Structure 1
Amino acid sequence: MVLGFCQFLKDLIKDRELLFRLSINDFKAKYAGSIFGIIWAFVQPLITILVFWFVFEMGFKSVPIDNFPFILWFVPAYIPWIFFNDILMSTSNCLYEYNYLVKKVKFRVSILPIMKIVSAFFVHIFFVLFIFLIFGMYGYGINAYFFQSFYYTFALIVFCMGLSWAVSALSVFFKDMTQLISVILQIGFWITPIFWNADKMDSWIGKLLKINPIYYIIRGYRDSFLYGVPFWHRINTSIYFWMVTIILFVFGTLIFKKLRPHLADEL
């Protein structure tokens, strides 16, 4: 297992230029036919944030949460969710989208889901910097804990790698996978503490909802931008998250490896 992972990293480093080129082309291709092009990748999330700001700050007059304006409490949780959502939706269809590469004998197909993750990362890094900006607009200075968010970005990427391999391969054989993922993500958005505080729930409900690994990421971003809590202070949840991530990585790798020989025939 360890040797296999090391070999994977070596192959990834070896193909880094190809991966980067494919990711850039994929990012551009999403909006190639529109007038404003790649601007749309940033406009839709910005409009959503603006709507939430207007509704909750101006309309509902939401009270501060832990002495922070609602929008500052909401945005650090919403941004990683957008990243996670984008990765799952795009990787679920990536083998269909690039079926001509899948059918090439010498092409390493496992790079395609990673390409989608890198493509989504371009947008995510912009919005992480946007969080820096919006906190500055509200008068909060940048501190060292802000940069801890990059650790949680890395953690989310690793978590999504195994998941994306499993989802992309299974989607070829289960045609409704993309629709199923869309439904799961809609439910997941509301059961993940993005709009609400899990610590305010009944103890047993809060503990149940915290089983969700994405909770670790959401709270981590808030710890970085709001509360200034170092990630090593969450040692129990960190261990749990990385155990789940490793299991998922192994699971996704095995599924992709088992289904890889049959992908071209199905496509």
Structure 2
Amino acid sequence: MTAVKSIFMFILDIFGSHRLIYELAKKDVKSKYLGSYLGVLWAFVQPTVMILIFWVVFQLGFRSMPVDNFPFILWLLCGMIPWFFFNDSVISAANSIIENSYLVKKVVFRVSVLPLIKIVSSLFIHAFFIVILFLIFFVYGYMPSIYNIQVVYYLIATIFLVLGISWITSSLVVFLKDIGQIIAMVLQFGFWLTPIIWAFNIVPAKYQIYFKLNPVFYIVQGYREAFIYHTWFWKHTFLSVYFWTFTFVCLMIGILLFKKLRPHFADVL
């Protein structure tokens, strides 16, 4: 109970700085593309181009058929969009402390919000693509459904998962710079091991459990069930319990590690 209370108070304390986080997240989005001609538009152009590439390669090149009677592009978008958010959040949050070393050295600044600022920064872009996803479904003739509200649940689940991971990685990157390269490599493997551009039913039944151990599977599949399969998240009791257990462990480890290493950040930076 002590560990649970510690985590709860730590998170509650951080979310108490929501205005600061929001303002710094907006500033972060603008600063990323400062000086470029397209500015913030680059944040939307890059993922859009990647989606178009995969769509051209798999649907036009390999002649991919509709998946479960749904147009391939819709099925693909439901997997790519949550992955972009997860991938961008993890990478940017991992480097959040190093990039803001000048803030770390200020005694009064709450350093623990830095990873969350990066996550919220990525969330702005993700929210735009969720709107686009609704529009594309509408263009294809699929009306909004009550099941779509589950996107909020899976979005919250993603944020808590990334937050736990980011407190671990951002703490370690300060002392071990190679962690950043390892994270990028793990994410590359994770993309291909998660059923984002390939259908999960091609995996033999006896091996499916191993793919489900990947927490991002829960999120990607959840987006598709919210938009395509129309299944409520509580129907997957085992997966839900496993995901939140994994997320809670990440949060607990991340908070304890962050608290332990925080006093040494300024010395190393």
Judge same fold: TM > 0.5, yes or no: yes
Match of 1:48 in 2: 50
Match of 2:146 in 1: 144
Determine whether 1:202 maps to 2:201: no
2:210 partner letter = L
Match of 2:6 in 1: 4
Shift of 1:204: 2.4
Q: Give the 3-state SS of the residue equivalent to 2:107 in structure 1.
A: coil
Q: Give the 3-state SS of the residue equivalent to 2:195 in structure 1.
A: coil
Match of 2:243 in 1: 241
Match of 1:251 in 2: 253
8 Å Cα contact 2:7/2:251 also seen in 1: no
Matched residues in 1 for 2:151 and 2:184: separation? 26
User: How many residues of Structure 1 are paired with residues of Structure 2 in the alignment?
Assistant: 267
Shift of 1:220: 0.4
Matched residues in 2 for 1:204 and 1:13: separation? 42
Matched residues in 2 for 1:33 and 1:96: separation? 22
Determine whether 1:184 maps to 2:182: no
Match of 1:118 in 2: 120
1:157 partner letter = I
Q: Give the 3-state SS of the residue equivalent to 1:43 in structure 2.
A: helix
The superposition leaves residues 99-133 of structure 1 with CA deviations (integer Å, 9 ceiling, x where unpaired) of: 00001111110000011111110001111111111
Question: For 1:173, which of 172, 175, 181 is the aligned residue?
Answer: 175
Match of 1:164 in 2: 166
Matched residues in 1 for 2:89 and 2:228: separation? 25
8 Å Cα contact 1:159/1:248 also seen in 2: yes
Shift of 1:173: 0.6
The superposition leaves residues 58-87 of structure 1 with CA deviations (integer Å, 9 ceiling, x where unpaired) of: 232211111011111111011111111101
Matched residues in 2 for 1:62 and 1:224: separation? 22
Q: Give the 3-state SS of the residue equivalent to 1:110 in structure 2.
A: helix
Determine whether 1:224 maps to 2:234: no
1:199 partner letter = N
Matched residues in 2 for 1:247 and 1:222: separation? 26
2:123 partner letter = F
Task: Output the TM-score relative to the length of structure 2.
Answer: 0.96
Q: Point out where structure 2 has 5 or more consecutive residues left out of the alignment.
A: none
Matched residues in 1 for 2:221 and 2:183: separation? 23
Q: Point out where structure 1 has 5 or more consecutive residues left out of the alignment.
A: none
Q: How does 1:81-100 map to 2 (within 5 A)?
A: 81-100=83-102
Calculate percent identity across the aligned residue pairs. Answer: 48
Matched residues in 2 for 1:85 and 1:6: separation? 25
Task: Output the TM-score relative to the length of structure 1.
Answer: 0.97
8 Å Cα contact 1:73/1:222 also seen in 2: yes
1:103 partner letter = K
